[in-house]
Amino acid sequence: MNRKKLQKLTDSLNKNCKHFSKFEVKCLINLFYNLVGEVMERQGVVIGLDRNAFRNILHMTFGMTDDMIMDRVFRGFDKDNDGCISVTEWVYGLSVFLRGTLEEKMKYCFEVFDLNGDSFISKEEMFHMLKNSLLKQPSEEDPDEGIKDLVEITLKKMDHDHDGKLSFADYEQAVREETLLLEAFGPCLPDPKSQKEFEAQVFKDPNEFSEV
């Protein structure tokens, strides 16, 4: 990619993305092309990170482990649903991921948790996301009982309109009351420590990074 094009891209992204400075946008674009690497060679093909590459980044850099959540995070980034993350999606996604306001993060997290995309988090979805969250006790008759109970507890706490599922309004109200509930069903944002490391590494010296 030539310089001019890169410059243009940086400018346009920077205009629409208020959380990053121009320098930071540039760093992120650089990082993106570094990560995509070989794919860049071929012309005419949409270039971007595919699901596996992205999940790899989430796992290695941000310490995420839950496959399902990582999948959902990928979907959250992949706005146009084409199965790979373009440079624009990359920068926009990271903008919320790293620097998003509470509102943006809530919207993002809700989308991650809403597995089937019907704008509600149903009991089944909750169960699905929480099913590995408790230590299985062999003594119990029904190993899922604890999870079911946990789902009920969560509903009691967050389902303000008592319709048995979480709308975005329910979720938003609950999070505003208690911010800890932002990632109620699994970590889908970077933890502060790895975020710090990531930013320190990426935004430090672009030249050094490109040599890697």
Partner 1 sequence: MGVALTRSAQWTAAGHGAKTLEVTPLNEAIVKEIMMFVESFIYKYPQEANYVFVEPLEWKTNLDPSAFGSGYAVSETTVKSEEVDKNGEPLLYLSVPQIKIRSFGQLSRMLYIAKSMKLKEAQACIEANRNPVAKILGLDYNIINGKNGNSFVSSVLDKMNKDDDPESEIKMKIALQLKQLDLHLLNHSLKHISLEIRLNSGTVKNDIELLKQFSGKGEQTVLESIEYTSDYEFSNGCRAPPWRQIQGEICYVLVKPHDAEILCVTCSKEGVFLNGGKTDDEGQINYERKGEIYKDLVTLLKEKSAIFSENMSKQEVKFSEQLQKDQPNKAPKEEVAVTHKTSITSRKSAQENRINLGRSQLTKRLEPSLNWRTSVSSKESRNTLRDTQVEKHGGKLEKSRSSLSSGRAQLIRKSVEKIEEIISDSSSESEEDEEQPDHRQEANADLPSEYWQIQKLVKYLKGGNQTATVIALCSMKDFNLAQETCQLAIRDVGGLEVLINLLETDEVKCKIGSLKILKEISHNPQIRRNIVDLGGLPVMVNILDSPHKSLKCLAAETIANVAKFKRARRVVRRHGGITKLVALLDCGKHSAEPAQSSLYETRDVEVARCGALALWSCSKSYANKESIRKAGGIPLLARLLKTSHEDMLIPVVGTLQECASEENYRAAIKAERIIENLVKNLNSENEQLQEHCAMAIYQCAEDEDTRDLVRLHGGLKPLASLLTNTDNKERLAAVTGAVWKCSISKENVTKFREYKAIETLVGLLTDQPEEVLVNVVGALGECCQEHENRIIIRKCGGIQPLVNLLVGINQALLVNVTKAVGACAVEPESMMIIDRLDGVRLLWSLLKNPHPDVKASAAWALCPCIQNAKDAGEMVRSFVGGLELVVNLLKSENKEVLASVCAVITNIAKDQENLAVITDHGVVPLLSKLANTNNDKLRRHLAETISRCCMWGRNRVAFGEHKAVAPLVRYLKSNDTNVHRATAQALYQLSEDADNCITMHENGAVKLLLDMVGSPDEELQEAAAGCISNIRRLALAIEKARYS
Site for partner 1, rule CB under 8 A? 99, 102, 129-130, 132-135, 137, 146, 149-150, 153-154, 156-157, 178-187, 191-193
Which of 38, 13, 37, 41 has the alpha carbon at shortest distance from 25?
Answer: 13
Kindly state the smallest distance separating residue 115's Cβ from partner 1, in Å: 15
Which of 81, 77, 45, 41 has the alpha carbon at shortest distance from 58?
Answer: 77
Closer by beta carbon to partner 1, 83 or else 143: 143
Kindly state the smallest distance separating residue 113's Cβ from partner 1, in Å: 11
Kindly state the smallest distance separating residue 61's Cβ from partner 1, in Å: 17
Closer by beta carbon to partner 1, 44 or else 192: 192
Q: Residue 53 is inside which H or E element, if any?
A: helix 51-62
Find how far residue 15's CA is from the centre of its chain. 22
Size of the chain in residues:
212
Closer by beta carbon to partner 1, 146 or else 206: 146
Kindly state the smallest distance separating residue 181's Cβ from partner 1, in Å: 6
**In 10 A of CB 41, how many CB atoms?**
8
Q: How far apart are CA 22 and CA 206, in angstroms?
A: 13
Residue type at 102 in one-letter notation: L
Query: Which tokens hold the place of 195?
Result: 């975020």
Q: How far apart are CA 212 and CA 205, in angstroms?
A: 11
Kindly state the smallest distance separating residue 47's Cβ from partner 1, in Å: 31
Closer by beta carbon to partner 1, 194 or else 201: 194
Closer by beta carbon to partner 1, 19 or else 75: 19
